[in-house]
Structure 1
Amino acid sequence: MAMKNVLFITNLPTPYRIDFYRELGKLCDLTVVIEARRSKDLHFNWNDNDITTFKLHYLNDDNLNEKKINWSILKYLSKSKFDVIVVSCYHTYTGMLSLAYMKAKHIPYLFETDGGMIAEIESSIKKSYKTTLIKGAKAYFSPSEGSDKYLAYYGASKDRIHRYPFSSLSDADILQHPLSSDEKLSIRKRLGVKESKMILAVGQFIHRKGFDVLMEAAKDMDRNIGIYIVGGKPTEEYLEMQRKYDLTQVHFEGFKTKNELAEYFKAADLFVHPTREDIWGLVINEAMAYGLPVITTNKCVAGMELVTDKDCLIDTDNPSQLKAIMETLMDDDVRRNNIASDNLRKIAGYTVEKMAEAHIKVFEGM
């Protein structure tokens, strides 16, 4: 079968997306059109000149302006140029133009989402607007059951929704087996971890991530369990909580590179992500790839999709429930090890290689 000629349209470049396109480009003749670059001050794990498996085009070399239409997208939207066109962003004006143009010209296209949640409160006008944009695709790519429901709610035909394993990981990123206690201890010594056990959390210090709930849960826990939060500079709110509760076992570790962060994942006994909402949450994939048991909330789509021990899916804003499950797992080495092994088996199906294969399967059926 001849390789499909595929166009992918998205808004911004991200490392995991570039890795996915690299894999997808090995399986089809791929062109990727990105609306804009990110800030030139940010450095990522690729160089555009090193991309060889697909063709990459930026519509704009400046930062993204979501409310500005870039009309140059229209030159790519042709029935004759591509066998398959995939739109993976619909909230920018250029994305909306792409969808409206293809609908008007009866150009078949596919729609991809990284995740979505049905709004609890939404006006009929806003729902109608979303429905107009989302409905009408020849096929839909969805990463989860919740995203299936989101797409169907906004007009997608259920029989056109295809599941794919959303991930930022490659096959090589996943450990073959959980690290032993001795291996973790050795890494913790290198990192300067003084406590006998270690819990890790990763993310920005913003309200949505729920680190205040983690700190509230920690105030009455064993001080020999270190809690390490990686991901930027804490705001005064978190520093004040640390002082108020004398949380000497809670450490703010700042930003880490990918390689540095890998050491923290390997050193930890448990990963906690007390988010108030995540339409996916790729950090869950990453923690599982290092063989970590994961505790997260029932508002984290990745957790609901990937975490098999349902005791580890807690309510949001519930520090007592979080404290209880953290203490239960930290006191039970056997259960932690069993969960770690289960997580490694589960996450092996969630790689950019598997993600590319799932897309090709749908393309070949078009």
Structure 2
Amino acid sequence: MTKIRLSFYTNIPTPYQQDFFEALSVYFDLTVVYYAKTEIDRQWSIKTENRPYQIHYLTDTIVARWIQKRLKDYHYSWSIIRLLARDKADYVIFSGAYWIPNTMTGIIISKIRKKTIAFFGERLTDPGSPFKKYLKKMSLIPAKWACQHLFVGGKEAAQSYQSYGFTSSISIIPYNIDITRFNKSNLNQEKFNKIQTRYKLTSQLVLLSSGSLIKRKNMATLIKAVKDSNTAISFVIIGEGDERRYLEELIGNDERIHLAGFVQASELPYYYNLADVFVFASRYDGWGVVINEAIAAGLPIISSENVGAAREWLINGINGFVCPPNDTKAFRQSIEKLVNTPDLLESQAAYNRSFRDKTSSTHYAGLMYEAIKQDLRG
């Protein structure tokens, strides 16, 4: 049986996209078009060779690269016009920022060519002023006019597009990952033991957080929560950023807290499997793939209420706790509750182990396949 030809246009390669594209390639004759190979402040090392789908990279214009100094996800390439004119896909998806020239150009040309088009987006945030809201409304016109389907990251994302007048079909396809990478049985035991020994994580309950060391990710709140607690715990933070020096000063001589630095995607499963609880105090994340990773590893999760994935997937007290992002006391109390109640810790971990399959790339690739088949039937 001939596979449906699917073209997927998006900003840059990211670890979680690779998992989803691998899963989609089972169902589709897939072509992925990246607007660029990377963006400012991205440290991922991603191999895109020998993938079971076709890949094209575009090259930004000089003007686009200049604008990226202020807006890192701004992309435009003249070659996208030629690529779109030759695109033989049955179905085209545009992802990334709806307002950038590549996406707008792609949507308009694909509509003119009578393609079946979908947009894949995160939740639309409140722009903060009537004028900015008007600009956002105008920028959304191409997607609203041309796209037959919306794939969005959660229920709140769906509502945000509907509030801007979208009436097309909507499917919830959150960011997702290959959960099998987080199976402890798939890890190299020698490497696992070395990391465990490096941070002396053999006897105490281990907390883990993952994210850039920047103000928005709010690692300071978690560090303060741990420092305010007298419980026997270790806390490992993976990530890098310009707040490192400040966080080092905040940690002081507390030997329970470790800044592990940036960790490549291939190494992440080792850290998650070393942990007993995942903590995340981000002031804002449209989704937050770290929540996926924690669920894949079967960890209870203590998260900020401002994280999209937490609002979508966490049930307070059942598979984790949800706290106000800057509430040090709430994070400390949640941590201590899990430390002091082993049965609760295990029940929350068990819930996430049972739930993990429904967060996987395999699961959501199947849902997208069914939605696209329905769209093409008309």
User: What TM-score do the two structures reach when normalised by structure 1?
Assistant: 0.86
Q: Distance in 1 between matches of 2:231 and 2:215?
A: 25
| Map of 1:180 onto structure 2 | none
2:192 is equivalent to residue 193 of structure 1: no
SS in 2 for 1:312: strand
2:149 is equivalent to residue 143 of structure 1: no
Q: Distance in 1 between matches of 2:195 and 2:15?
A: 26
Please say if residues 141 and 162 of structure 1, whose CA atoms lie closer than 8 Å, have aligned partners that are also in contact. yes
SS in 2 for 1:227: strand
| Map of 1:24 onto structure 2 | 24
Go from structure 1 to structure 2 and tell me whether the alpha carbon gap of 1:19 and 1:241 turns closer, same or farther (over 3 Å shift): same
1:172-226 CA deviation, whole Å, 9 max, x = no partner?
A: 235489xxxxxx9997446423662211111111011111111221222025211
Q: Compute the displacement of 1:169 (Å).
A: 2.2
Q: Compute the displacement of 1:353 (Å).
A: 1.5
Q: Compute the displacement of 1:47 (Å).
A: 4.0
| Map of 1:3 onto structure 2 | 3
SS in 1 for 2:26: coil
Go from structure 1 to structure 2 and tell me whether the alpha carbon gap of 1:274 and 1:195 turns closer, same or farther (over 3 Å shift): farther
CA RMSD of aligned residues (A): 2.9
Please say if residues 134 and 155 of structure 1, whose CA atoms lie closer than 8 Å, have aligned partners that are also in contact. no
| Map of 1:203 onto structure 2 | 211
Q: Compute the displacement of 1:319 (Å).
A: 0.5
User: Which stretch has the larger CA shift, 215-224 or 61-70?
Assistant: 61-70
For 1:57, the aligned partner's letter is: H
SS in 2 for 1:25: helix
Please say if residues 93 and 117 of structure 2, whose CA atoms lie closer than 8 Å, have aligned partners that are also in contact. yes
Q: Distance in 2 between matches of 1:294 and 1:43?
A: 24
Q: Compute the displacement of 1:329 (Å).
A: 1.0
2:47 is equivalent to residue 46 of structure 1: yes
Among 212, 224, 227, the residue aligned to 1:219: 227
Gaps of 5+ in 1: 178-183
2:292 is equivalent to residue 282 of structure 1: no
Q: Distance in 2 between matches of 1:86 and 1:204?
A: 29
Q: Compute the displacement of 1:340 (Å).
A: 0.6
2:170 is equivalent to residue 167 of structure 1: no
Among 92, 105, 108, the residue aligned to 2:100: 92
SS in 2 for 1:98: helix
For 1:33, the aligned partner's letter is: V
| Map of 1:128 onto structure 2 | 137
| Map of 2:55 onto structure 1 | 56
Go from structure 1 to structure 2 and tell me whether the alpha carbon gap of 1:327 and 1:43 turns closer, same or farther (over 3 Å shift): closer
| Map of 2:260 onto structure 1 | 253
For 2:149, the aligned partner's letter is: A
Please say if residues 217 and 323 of structure 1, whose CA atoms lie closer than 8 Å, have aligned partners that are also in contact. yes
| Map of 1:339 onto structure 2 | 348
1:321-344 CA deviation, whole Å, 9 max, x = no partner?
A: 111111111111111111111111
SS in 2 for 1:109: strand
Go from structure 1 to structure 2 and tell me whether the alpha carbon gap of 1:204 and 1:131 turns closer, same or farther (over 3 Å shift): same
Go from structure 1 to structure 2 and tell me whether the alpha carbon gap of 1:47 and 1:81 turns closer, same or farther (over 3 Å shift): closer
Among 123, 126, 129, the residue aligned to 1:119: 126
Please say if residues 197 and 226 of structure 1, whose CA atoms lie closer than 8 Å, have aligned partners that are also in contact. yes
Gaps of 5+ in 2: 66-72, 186-191
Q: Compute the displacement of 1:112 (Å).
A: 0.7
| Map of 2:272 onto structure 1 | 265
Q: Distance in 2 between matches of 1:80 and 1:59?
A: 14
Go from structure 1 to structure 2 and tell me whether the alpha carbon gap of 1:72 and 1:61 turns closer, same or farther (over 3 Å shift): closer
User: Which stretch has the larger CA shift, 247-256 or 115-124?
Assistant: 115-124
Q: Distance in 2 between matches of 1:324 and 1:213?
A: 13
Go from structure 1 to structure 2 and tell me whether the alpha carbon gap of 1:154 and 1:76 turns closer, same or farther (over 3 Å shift): farther
Q: Distance in 2 between matches of 1:118 and 1:190?
A: 41
Q: For 1:95-110, what aligned pairs fall within 5 Å after superposition?
A: 95-103=103-111, 107-110=115-118
2:372 is equivalent to residue 363 of structure 1: yes
Q: Distance in 1 between matches of 2:175 and 2:374?
A: 20
User: What TM-score do the two structures reach when normalised by structure 2?
Assistant: 0.84
User: Which stretch has the larger CA shift, 27-36 or 304-313?
Assistant: 304-313
Go from structure 1 to structure 2 and tell me whether the alpha carbon gap of 1:236 and 1:42 turns closer, same or farther (over 3 Å shift): closer
